Amino acid sequence: MFEKLKKAMSSSEDFDDEYLEIDLGKEEKENKVLVKLFVMKSYEDVNEILNALRQGYTIAVIDIKTLRQKDSIELKRAVSKIKKTNFPLKTDVNNRISWTEDEEISREFVWKNVEEYDFHGIKILVPNPDLDVLIRLAHLPFEQAEIRLGELLHIYRQAKTVNWERLQKEAERNHWLKTFERVRLLLNKLHDGMFNKQRPIRFPYRLSFFLLVQAIIEKKAWRKIWGARYVIKNRLSS
């Protein structure tokens, strides 16, 4: 089913979990989402994280286990500094990679699928193509409810190196396999429309209410129903 994509373009203060997710959003239609991973070993590491976040639309995944075990007070200071930083963009701080009551991607999968990247002379961990694409595929139905052109093209570029069987198993392990398959099918249809049939497609492309509702039901993410009012209001007003 996904062969076309493979050929495509060449907050809580308790800190019960072991990593944070910081989502820094910018209201532009075709922005790419940059996903960067960090290990926070000391309070000083927060500056590196803030510098990366200021670069643009970014999701920062931060391993806080080391600092939490070393000095929980320093950890709270670091998180507080992030929250109080006056970003020109919208900022969310979370303690796991999830947009529902449960994980969409396990911690084990996250930290087994990273690679080192030199970012302006700073060595950071970033998701490999498998993790990068899986985060984006989960973000679409459980939070974003639409897909931007830049992000779609980025997924297509990553598709030729992604192990889709691994992603499928991870989605199944975290109870959103049917949603994963629906999103994958949608990406296939969009690719066919853009590059084969050359149909005009308006971006950001809105995911259907059916797909969004089925995602909530499959994941039993009942709290998302209340949040869906914003999606409905936005679509009715546009």
Q: Identify the weakest region by mean pLDDT among 9-18, 84-93, 141-150.
A: 9-18
Give CA torsion, residues 219, 225, 231, 237, to 10 deg: 150
d(CA 174, CA 188) in angstroms, rounded, equals 23
Domain boundaries, the chain: 11-127, 130-237
Give the pLDDT score at 72: 84
Return d(Cα 23, Cα 34) in angstroms, integer.
10
Under the banding of pLDDT at 50, 70 and 90, the label for residue 86 is low
Residue 204: cis peptide before it, omega within 30 degrees of 0? yes
User: Above 70 in pLDDT, residue 13?
Assistant: no
212-222 pLDDT, tens digit each:
999 999 999 88
pLDDT digits (tens, 9 = 90+) for 21-62: 555 554 444 455 677 788 888 989 888 888 877 776 677 788
Instruction: Point out the least confidently predicted range of 119-123, 132-136, 146-150, 203-207.
Output: 119-123
- Work out the burial of residue 101: count CB atoms within 10 Å of its CB; fewer than 13 is exposed, 13-18 middle, 19 or more buried: exposed
- Please tell me which residue, 98 or 231, carries the higher pLDDT value: 98
Q: Which amino acid is at 63?
A: D
- Ranges 66-80, 88-102, 190-204: which has the least confidence: 88-102
- What pLDDT digit, counting tens, does each position of 144-201 carry? 999 999 999 999 999 999 999 999 999 999 999 999 999 999 999 999 999 988 788 9
The mean pLDDT value for 84-106 works out to 74
Binned at pLDDT 50, 70 and 90, residue 73 comes out as: confident
Secondary structure of the chain as H, E, C letters: CCHHHHCCCCCCCCCCCCEEEEEEECCCCCCCCEEEEEECCCCCHHHHHHHHHCCCCEEEEEECHHHHHHCHHHHHHHHHHHHHCCCCCEEEEECCCCCCCCCCCCHHHHHCCEEEEEECCEEEEEECHHHHHHHHHHHHHHHHCEECHHHHHHHHHHHCCCCHHHHHHHHHHCCCHHHHHHHHHHHHHHHHHHHHCCCCCCCCEECCHHHHHHHHHHHCCCHHHHHHHHHHHHHHHC
Amino acid at 68: R
Pairing outcome for strands 58-63 and 34-39: parallel
The token pair that represents 32 in the structure block: 């790419």
More confident residue, 138 or 80: 138
Residue where the block lists tokens 């992604």: 162
Tokens of 28: 């532009």
Average pLDDT over residues 116-126: 79
Q: Which of 24-28, 74-78, 140-144 tops mean pLDDT?
A: 140-144
Instruction: For residues 125-142, give the mean pLDDT.
Output: 94
> Which value, in Å, is the radius of gyration of the alpha carbons in the chain?
18
Confidence of residue 1 (pLDDT cuts 50, 70, 90): very low
Which backbone phi and psi does 103 adopt, to 5 degrees? -75, 140
- Percent share of the chain, pLDDT over 70: 76
